[in-house]
Structure 1
Amino acid sequence: MLQTIRDKSSGWLAFIILGLVIITMAFFGIESYFAPKVETYSAKIEGPAKYWLWGKQVREIPQDQFQRRFEQVRQQERDRQGEAFDYAAFESLDNKRQVLDGMIDEEVLGMVAEREGITIGEAELAAELKQMPEFQLNGVYSPDQYRLGLAARGVNHAQFMATVRADMARRTIPSLVANTGLATQAELEAYLRLARQTRDLSLVDLPTPAAPAAPTEAELKAWYEANAARYRSEEKVAVEYVEIDGSTLEVPTVVDEQALRQRYEEQRARYVTDPKRSAAHILVAVPADADAAAEQAARERAEALAAKAREPGADFAAIARESSDDLGSKADGGALGVVEAGLFAGPFEEALFAMQQVGQVSDPVRTPDGWHVIQLTEFAPGSERSFDEVRAEIEAEYLSTERDRVFSDLSNQLIERIYRDPTALAPAAEASGLELKRTGLFSRTAGEGIAAIPAVRAAAFADAQRVERQVSDAVEIGSNHLVVVHVVEVEPEAAIPFEQVRDRVQAEVVADALSKASEAQARALLERAQKGETLDALATEVGRTVATLPGVNRQAQLPPALLEEAFRLPAPEAGGISVGMVRLGPDRHALVGVTAVTQGDLEGLDDETRKSLLDQLAQARAVVEAQDYVKALRKQFTITVAEDRL
């Protein structure tokens, strides 16, 4: 038998199979046969192969990255909506898909930028940085704000620049598509005629029908059973909680002089102002891999421009506007504004920082973009504030930091003890010297005391707390102010007995009957009006009069539902009327008729206003076209969404 196996496993086919196995192991390792890959992405985006099976782009959006973005959006919505924010509703799959789709669009645009070889130059990058409002003071770029911003983000200059560069590359093509948005004068006039259109209306506000006979007990119980979901009490919980409020903690009030001096030395850079340089440049663009002839020609042109800029009375800005290849700064005379150390790498920065005299022009310097001729346009020497000058400031910061430290130490102690035993809060509170408090029962939507805070209610009703009875994570309810909760009682939702809600049931049965009767009355009258009966005759029949509203526009102070129906109806024939029905309240309807339509008047529209409106219309179209472009791009990629990981 062994001989038979040996005979069968020899030959050219066996060698091919063995060779494929060896190649596979060489690239992926033998562990790939025994350790299946565990997917952790929320979405995977796969682009088409560049050459048959080679050059395929693949990007993944990890679960943790999606969760961070979703939490950011949640926080933004919570800040925007305040008390009205609904945590449970926000957790819907539709909301999660909306956030994830935005992230997918970003990845697709990044992959397209990479595929098309889109790169961002140093000057464009610097200009973008200086336009970011978070790094500005009084509308002007501030290097100090920039440093503080990077520290808050926990990134260095190179990492942040890489992120900005990638974002700019992603936005390049959509912005170019948006820039092509156009609107014609004919489209503007058609839009304005429609937007400024007025209509002559006839309105009959119908009376509420007479109250129906009182419902029987059987009818009430039948309604109660058919609408049982309306008559259920909310689920409620009660929690034990520990609160740490930094503003109430005791901290030292006397500061050691040596500690202040040590702090000054540690943060000396804060009190030292580096020299500030503003610069302008002229770029002679030439690729990094250009041949020797092109390189020499570019260098000679740059040297000629440098010599021209050094001539007495030369206008560097005019030369830059005329000769620079940097589209980002050319129109501004090559101005780059304030240039901080690290903003431009290598020879450019070395040449600029070697100059000390305003107006000085450098020799040409080479960067990957080409040859630069640099002029120092402003120079302000640095300064230093002594310890005595900033002592009071340091002392105030020190005391504030001490309060933060005490708060942080106490919070960390509490959380560490909770991690050791997440099933009980009392031991951790006692060991930390904190008071354990308890709330009464509260629902998802309302509570008293600490439970009046939406974030606390959300934590209490999370499954880990409400179902598994785990102690919650720290819930931040303010600056240096947190609370930790532990659910100790759950009152499940339940049907409210009929006897307790009988009056409410009766009111809702009567209201429903009135609503249906009002709609039936309005619909019957509408059908008669559409068959030719006049509104005057119908109004007289129900004891009403017809109100005439001439020249109603879309901004009229009328109920929105009435305006929507009035402008939805078709224009009537000459001497005729278009009639519709509108619901104005639970048991209130009206008939509305359009007797005339007047197209918007374009008289009095000056050229400046017309141009402004035309620009707005073009911008609106540009936004739609850019969105359509992204939608079209997505069709080129295979997108896999793991909804179970959202």
Structure 2
Amino acid sequence: MLQSLREKTSGWIASVIMGLLVIPFAFFGIEQYGTSSETFVARVEAPPTWWAGAPHVWPLTRLWDVEEITTEQFRKAFDDLRQSERQRLGDAFDSEQFESADNKRKVLDQVIDDRIMQMASTRNGVQVSDAAVRDVVQSFPDFQVDGKFNMTRYQTVLSKLQNPMTPAQFEESIRQDLRRNAMAGRIASSDFVTPSEKTRLANIMTEQRGVIAAIVPKLADTAPVTDAEIAAWYKTHVKQYSAPPKVTLEYVDADLANFAAPAIKEGDVRALYESRKSKYVGNDQRLVSHILIQLPADAKAAAISAAEAKAAQIAEQARAPGADFAALAKANSDDVGSKAAGGDLGWISRDGSNDAAFEAAAFAMQAGQVSAPVRTQYGWHVIEVRDVKAGTAKTYEDVKPELEAELKKQSGERALSSALGELTDEAYKNPANFAATAKRLGLNVQTAGPIAMGQGDAVITNPAVQRVLFSKNVAESIGAVSDPIKIGDNHNVLFRVLSRTPERQLPLTEVRDAIIADVRADRANKAALAKADKILAAIKAGQSLEAVAAANGAQLQNKGEIVRGEIPTPEVNRAMFAVPRPAAGKQSPGKATLPDGNVLVFAVTEAKPGDAERVPAEVRAQIMKQLGDAYGVSSAMNYVNALKKQFKIKVAEDRM
């Protein structure tokens, strides 16, 4: 039996069976034996470039290009936007609102769009040249001196970023940005505005309308308001009549300016001066020029030696009697920022803003000397010191007041920080002792309340404090102590809410007078609008606005011609251009409510076609550019949206 089975499974039939079994294992892979752990926030899958219509079904999904947006990548984009918005909005920035689910999804959608554009560029074989990267880098104003790119300035700015970068890292990030935006950018830049569109827009902008207007005043209503009217109004507007939530709190205004800092010792001031003596004495400067023989970061030994030899030869030429260093720089330097100026870098100080080897060589020379080749990360430099400026020495007495103020501030900051830290720790352990602990630490405790949002002194009404004080978290944790809230340099606020009165509906008896005032205001508005409608009906029946206005007590305004966007208000202006153009000898009436509550009734008596030539050429050019840019952005977004329909996007909402 076994022998027979063995014979049947060792021939061509067995080979076919084994071949069929291999196929799923080849597609699944060994990873299927383990447990997978997905960590992406979003996954973007694109069909293969050679089969755009490939179905998204197994096993063909293994042919698709897959890009994942990790949690870390999403958080970085979200945190970068948070920092940008905080700087833009200042005290108006609301961190709680920023953390909303809707906002997170908007950020993720932007990250997904960026990734799709990057994939599209890669799939279309887009490459970014070194020259394109260099042009972008050199266009940054922060890297320029006197309007020209400066290598030293470039290096200094990058080294002082919040997250310092090397030039190679920065240039790679620029390359990635250019590659990511290449396809969408080309589509945007290829869009244009046709001559007919230009003419039509200019004509619309310059259209003029002759207008007659009259103001129907909103007259004060003094008629009695019945109990039935009061009850009916309260019933239909009940949400308007409520008392806002109020809080009673105790708080600490921890401001360094009002905090008693420990006394400063004379010995500490003297010690600080001695530690900085080199800063106050002999702070020389050098007026330098240089010639750079540039080297890539991955240069081979042979290239490094060749560049050094070239730099040495140039240095020898620069030392020759009558040599013109500026001319040599213009002819040989690879530093595009200083080459045209003969290698001039201006005055430099020994303060670490330049490469350490460069500074060491420059400050080892005197005026008129030329260095041997100096190696930095950019390549080999030949340095000329054109002039020397000796630093001005400052004695201890000269800088003592400055040092005392600095030490006093540092001492106060440390003491205040320590007090805030101890107060926070103690408050978490025993919130009820908040006031006692604060007083023990020398912090003044104040009380306020009951107060509603927007009430209180300048500290309590600070936007940053208000957001926390009336937040949902505080409403749910009465008696707890807040984290320190920064409202200025060395200025923090901590508070403890003692009680909170939630928003409550006010009974009719408490708001009766307010309701009467609101009913009368509503009646006055309706009366003015009714009179305006009566005037409009008369105009439509063939009467002139002048005659109808006089008969109805409306105040006639001066006749005149208007163009789009003019006074009295944008809303009224739009209403005047929204009515139909009048037929010959007719008027097109309309109305609009003014900011003061009065109603403006108007009649358009004529409409003069626009004339593009009346718009100055430079204004027309600017408008057309803005319109073209808007069309371009719209086309680029349409391109991205079209790609989204081809791609498959999966979002893990729970990982955002």
**TM-score, normalized by length of structure 1?**
0.71
Pair 1:181–1:443, CA change in 2 (3 A): same
Equivalent of 1:475 in 468, 485, 492? 485
Structure 2: how far apart are the matches of 1:336 and 1:622? 40
Equivalent of 1:244 in 237, 254, 257? 254
Matched, 1:388 2:395: yes
Matched, 1:485 2:492: no
The equivalent residue for 1:155 is 163
Matched, 1:166 2:176: no
Equivalent of 2:420 in 397, 408, 411? 411
Pair 1:21–1:630, CA change in 2 (3 A): closer
Pair 1:104–1:276, CA change in 2 (3 A): farther
Pair 1:361–1:252, CA change in 2 (3 A): closer
Q: In 2, are the aligned partners of 1:234 and 1:492 still within 8 Å (CA)?
A: yes
Structure 2: how far apart are the matches of 1:144 and 1:219? 74
Equivalent of 1:24 in 24, 28, 31? 31
- Greater shift in the superposed pair: 416-425 or 242-251: 416-425
Matched, 1:513 2:520: no
For residues 50-449 of structure 1, what are the structure 2 equivalents within 5 Å? 53=63, 56-60=66-70, 62=72, 64-65=75-76, 68-69=79-80, 71-72=82-83, 75-76=86-87, 78-79=89-90, 116-118=126-128, 124=135, 127=138, 131-132=141-142, 154-158=162-166, 162=169, 166=173, 169-170=176-177, 173=182, 191-208=201-218, 211=221, 214-257=224-267, 260-261=270-271, 265=275, 277-279=288-290, 388=395, 391-392=399-400, 393-421=402-430, 425-426=434-435, 428-429=437-438, 432-448=441-457
Structure 2: how far apart are the matches of 1:401 and 1:148? 27
Secondary structure at the residue paired with 1:132? helix
Pair 1:194–1:228, CA change in 2 (3 A): same
The equivalent residue for 1:457 is 466
Which residue identity lines up with residue 83 of structure 2 in the other structure? Q
Q: In 2, are the aligned partners of 1:352 and 1:374 still within 8 Å (CA)?
A: no
- Greater shift in the superposed pair: 348-357 or 444-453: 348-357
Pair 1:185–1:54, CA change in 2 (3 A): closer
Pair 1:439–1:543, CA change in 2 (3 A): closer
Query: How many Å apart are 1:234 and its aligned residue?
Result: 0.2
Secondary structure at the residue paired with 1:396? helix
Structure 2: how far apart are the matches of 1:95 and 1:474? 26
Q: In 2, are the aligned partners of 1:362 and 1:373 still within 8 Å (CA)?
A: no
The equivalent residue for 2:5 is none
Secondary structure at the residue paired with 1:451? coil
Equivalent of 1:579 in 589, 614, 617? 589
Structure 2: how far apart are the matches of 1:560 and 1:220? 36
Structure 1: how far apart are the matches of 2:168 and 2:120? 20
Pair 1:588–1:191, CA change in 2 (3 A): same
The equivalent residue for 1:48 is 46
Query: How many Å apart are 1:410 and its aligned residue?
Result: 2.0
Q: In 2, are the aligned partners of 1:120 and 1:165 still within 8 Å (CA)?
A: no
Structure 2: how far apart are the matches of 1:628 and 1:336? 46
Query: Deviations along 1:196-228, whole A, 9 cap, x unmatched?
Result: 443211113235479485332022112102111
Q: In 1, are the aligned partners of 2:269 and 2:404 still within 8 Å (CA)?
A: no
**Residue ranges of structure 1 left out of the alignment (5+ in a row):** 1-9
The equivalent residue for 2:603 is 593
Structure 2: how far apart are the matches of 1:347 and 1:577? 82
Query: How many Å apart are 1:564 and its aligned residue?
Result: 1.9
Q: Note the aligned Cα RMSD (angstroms).
A: 5.7
Q: In 2, are the aligned partners of 1:274 and 1:381 still within 8 Å (CA)?
A: yes
The equivalent residue for 2:58 is none
Q: In 1, are the aligned partners of 2:156 and 2:354 still within 8 Å (CA)?
A: no
Which residue identity lines up with residue 605 of structure 2 in the other structure? T
Secondary structure at the residue paired with 2:224? coil
Pair 1:258–1:483, CA change in 2 (3 A): closer
The equivalent residue for 1:560 is 570
Pair 1:554–1:639, CA change in 2 (3 A): same
Question: Equivalent pairs: percent with the same residue?
Answer: 22
Pair 1:375–1:538, CA change in 2 (3 A): farther
Pair 1:357–1:631, CA change in 2 (3 A): farther
Query: How many Å apart are 1:547 and its aligned residue?
Result: 3.8
Query: How many Å apart are 1:319 and its aligned residue?
Result: 6.9
Query: Deviations along 1:503-524, whole A, 9 cap, x unmatched?
Result: 1111212222332343344335
Matched, 1:618 2:625: yes
Pair 1:329–1:244, CA change in 2 (3 A): closer
Structure 1: how far apart are the matches of 2:82 and 2:602? 47
Pair 1:475–1:494, CA change in 2 (3 A): same
The equivalent residue for 2:552 is 542
Secondary structure at the residue paired with 1:459? helix
Query: Deviations along 1:239-258, whole A, 9 cap, x unmatched?
Result: 12223221122334544446
Which residue identity lines up with residue 163 of structure 2 in the other structure? V
Structure 2: how far apart are the matches of 1:616 and 1:358? 56
Pair 1:200–1:514, CA change in 2 (3 A): same
Q: In 2, are the aligned partners of 1:183 and 1:614 still within 8 Å (CA)?
A: no
Pair 1:267–1:630, CA change in 2 (3 A): farther
Q: In 2, are the aligned partners of 1:45 and 1:108 still within 8 Å (CA)?
A: no
The equivalent residue for 2:512 is 502
Structure 2: how far apart are the matches of 1:205 and 1:16? 84
Equivalent of 1:466 in 470, 475, 479? 475
Query: How many Å apart are 1:281 and its aligned residue?
Result: 6.5
Q: In 1, are the aligned partners of 2:330 and 2:339 still within 8 Å (CA)?
A: no
Pair 1:287–1:472, CA change in 2 (3 A): closer
Structure 1: how far apart are the matches of 2:368 and 2:116? 46
Pair 1:505–1:202, CA change in 2 (3 A): same
Query: How many Å apart are 1:236 and its aligned residue?
Result: 0.7
- Greater shift in the superposed pair: 477-486 or 410-419: 410-419
Query: How many Å apart are 1:238 and its aligned residue?
Result: 1.1
The equivalent residue for 2:10 is none
Query: How many Å apart are 1:128 and its aligned residue?
Result: 5.1
Query: How many Å apart are 1:465 and its aligned residue?
Result: 2.0
The equivalent residue for 1:3 is none
Q: In 1, are the aligned partners of 2:287 and 2:345 still within 8 Å (CA)?
A: no
**Residue ranges of structure 2 left out of the alignment (5+ in a row):** 1-13, 50-61
Structure 2: how far apart are the matches of 1:250 and 1:279? 53
Secondary structure at the residue paired with 2:247? strand
Q: In 2, are the aligned partners of 1:583 and 1:590 still within 8 Å (CA)?
A: yes
Secondary structure at the residue paired with 2:586? coil
- Greater shift in the superposed pair: 461-470 or 431-440: 431-440
**TM-score, normalized by length of structure 2?**
0.70
Q: In 2, are the aligned partners of 1:456 and 1:475 still within 8 Å (CA)?
A: yes
Structure 2: how far apart are the matches of 1:97 and 1:394? 50
The equivalent residue for 2:6 is none
Secondary structure at the residue paired with 1:225? helix
Query: How many Å apart are 1:353 and its aligned residue?
Result: 11
Pair 1:200–1:19, CA change in 2 (3 A): closer
